[in-house]
Amino acid sequence: MIAMHPSFLFFIAGLLVLLVPPIARKAIQLATPVFAFLLLQGFIAYADIGPWTWSFFGFEFSLVQIDPLALLFVYVFLLFAFLSNLYGLHATDKNVPAASNFYVGSSIGAVLAGDLVTLFIFWEIMALSSALLIWNRDRKSSLGALFRYLLVHLTGGLFFFSGILLKLFTRSPIGMDALAFDLAGWLIFISFLINAGIPPLHAWLPDAYPEGTPHGSIYLSAFTTKVAVYAFARGFAGAEILIWLGALAAVYGVVYALMENDMRRLLSYHIVCQVGYMICGIGIGSHLGINAGTGHAVGNILFKGLLFMATGALIHMTGKYKLSDLGGMARKDKWVLLFYMIGALAISGMPLLNGYVTKSLLLEAASHEHLGWLELTLLWVAVGTFLSIALKLAYFAFWGESEGPKTIRKVPLNMHLAMAGTSLVCLAIGIFPDNFFAFLPYEVHAQSYTLGHVIPTLELLVATVLGFLLILKFLHTKDVISLDTDWFYRKGAYAFLDGLCYPIRRLQEWIQVTWTISLEKTNERLRRSFPHQDITAVGTPLLWMMLASLIVGIAVFAAL
């Protein structure tokens, strides 16, 4: 078996899809995750003897760190990459396949990284390639969202890079395990918070993810935040501050989701919410807590990806993004309704689906640590999740009072197949949780299907349905302006640019005035020296020659 880093295969595929005809591009998209999985087996076998570790100025750098935690994320990344590629197989745009291959490859490279420097390199490739997926020619607002996304993530990269430099200068270890909360550790911790989308550093996520193409947004929903969750599990497991930040993210995300009219913006706020669950588990720090946090990350990739697929199918059918513009879609495509409801019930924690299994682990981990307030908080968040995704969005999109769009495009077979495959995986994990537990980082000694778990879950879901029916006539969909923390850097950016440009404008004005005065004085002196000649235009070339000579002189002096 060839020992090849899986990321490199995706990078090669990303370049090839730009050069080959459409038929070959589709074949590459389907084959790349499969071959990457096969190569991974040889890569695991030969990783210890391959050229994956080197020394530089006394520091050890490692391209690879393979253990159950890393493999859990790599396996789900490969699986979801295949399903996402299948979903977008009908698309003619080759930019999304190219960017998505680099995005998936860099995400896998970040998870396998054995040190902070290697992680940072893949981290930045991931940021740049994901930004390309935000660009959507059908939405003028996507370009602004793209630039804001880059601004935020480049800022996060600066925090990360500064932390690494401090570690290098102080000769501190640059390994991934157990980062300390010194100055360097805090800088790296903040960069992880930005990528994870934890409030108040989260606003880039609901700002950018709804702007991409229906196909591109599926990739965005799966990788960046989950790589950050992995980084927290690797470097900051057991940090109590993560429990509080995770609970804040869970509550914050679900409250804002309840107010949204744009389908993908609603789902994006639920990424913030569900990442909160994951961070809580990692903050608990026990083996059960880390299993719950990372297991929920895997589940979220699948059911949140399925929700983005189903809403993407609605956008493909109608060209509409908002619930207020939809209605009656259940009659248009019953398969999309079925797949959407599987994803919605999974994220809500319905028994027999993967979300139930991982949320049960998290509640049990909180119970073992006597964190009753956290259990209660996450249960109430589960009510809001069920209410906003499984009830509100489903009702107004698939039934509702609106007649919906008149013109409907047919959903391609490959999109249905991708949604069906993702649904089956969600069901398989929910029905056979012990098989899923075998992939988690630590051995699991928990039973998901006990009366103490199942009965309260069903009671909570039924009570939420009854409450929804009671308030249904008061519900409506409309555009609302929900001020979020991005207001500060949207408005602050203008103030910053004005402040930055003010001295530049003053300098420009001073140079212009000084230049004009010098030119007039030069021409006046030339006229007095040569009163019988027309030398009006001589002063300007003369000053330009003097300025050029000065610049050349400075350059020569600097070179010497």
What is the mean pLDDT of the segment spanning 318-341? 88
Final residue before a domain boundary, out of 446, 478, 510: 478
507 and 440 part of one domain? no
415 and 537 part of one domain? no
What is the mean pLDDT of the segment spanning 45-54? 59
Quick check: 35 and 12 in contact, CB under 8 A? no
308 and 177 part of one domain? no
Is the pLDDT higher at 453 or at 358? 358
What is the mean pLDDT of the segment spanning 65-90? 94
171 and 39 part of one domain? yes
On the CB side of 322, CA atoms within 13 Å amount to 11
| Strand-pair partners of 532 | none
- Pairing outcome for strands 59-62 and 53-56: antiparallel
179 and 35 part of one domain? yes
Quick check: 86 and 418 in contact, CB under 8 A? yes
204 and 242 part of one domain? no
207 and 75 part of one domain? yes
On the question of pLDDT at 15 being above 60, the answer is yes
Q: For residue 359, what pLDDT is reported?
A: 93
Is the pLDDT higher at 52 or at 213? 213
On the question of pLDDT at 1 being above 60, the answer is no
Q: For residue 444, what pLDDT is reported?
A: 87
Q: For residue 127, what pLDDT is reported?
A: 93
From residue 383, alpha-carbon distances to 10, 221, 295, 397 in Å are 39, 22, 21, 20
Domain that holds residue 185: 1-236
- For 500-515, letters b (16+ CB in 10 Å) and e give eeeeeeeeeeeeeeee
413 and 542 part of one domain? no
230 and 243 part of one domain? no
On the question of pLDDT at 2 being above 60, the answer is no
Closest CA to 133 of 95, 186, 166: 95
Among 32-41, 50-59, 240-249, 270-279, whose mean pLDDT is lowest? Answer: 50-59
What is the mean pLDDT of the segment spanning 26-37? 94
Final residue before a domain boundary, out of 478, 508, 523: 478
Quick check: 46 and 16 in contact, CB under 8 A? no
User: Which tokens belong to 292?
Assistant: 């719950």
201 and 280 part of one domain? no
Final residue before a domain boundary, out of 428, 448, 478: 478
Give the whole-angstrom CA distance, residue 168 versus residue 531: 70
On the question of pLDDT at 27 being above 70, the answer is yes
Give the whole-angstrom CA distance, residue 437 versus residue 524: 89
User: Which tokens belong to 113?
Assistant: 């990284």
Closest CA to 236 of 294, 183, 180: 180
Is the pLDDT higher at 334 or at 179? 334
Closest CA to 404 of 308, 316, 338, 318: 318
Q: For residue 225, what pLDDT is reported?
A: 95
* Number of domains forming the structure of the chain: 3
User: Which tokens belong to 532?
Assistant: 């019988």
Give the whole-angstrom CA distance, residue 351 versus residue 453: 9
Give the whole-angstrom CA distance, residue 131 versus residue 127: 6
Phi, psi of 115 (to 5 degrees): -150, 170
In eight-state DSSP terms, residue 474 is G
Q: For residue 520, what pLDDT is reported?
A: 67
Q: How confident is the model at residue 49 (pLDDT cuts 50, 70, 90)?
A: very low
pLDDT digits (tens, 9 = 90+) for 94-149: 889 999 999 999 999 999 998 899 999 999 999 999 999 998 877 888 888 888 89
On the question of pLDDT at 250 being above 80, the answer is yes
3-state secondary structure of 327: coil
On the CB side of 476, CA atoms within 13 Å amount to 4
Provide the phi-psi class of 54: left if phi over 0, else alpha when psi is between -120 and 50, else beta: beta
93 and 204 part of one domain? yes
187 and 318 part of one domain? no
Q: For residue 473, what pLDDT is reported?
A: 75
User: Which tokens belong to 171?
Assistant: 């000769």
End-to-end CA distance of the chain: 56
Q: How confident is the model at residue 41 (pLDDT cuts 50, 70, 90)?
A: confident
pLDDT digits (tens, 9 = 90+) for 507-550: 667 776 676 666 666 666 656 665 655 555 555 565 556 666 66
Quick check: 222 and 197 in contact, CB under 8 A? no
Give the whole-angstrom CA distance, residue 379 versus residue 127: 33
What is the mean pLDDT of the segment spanning 487-506? 65
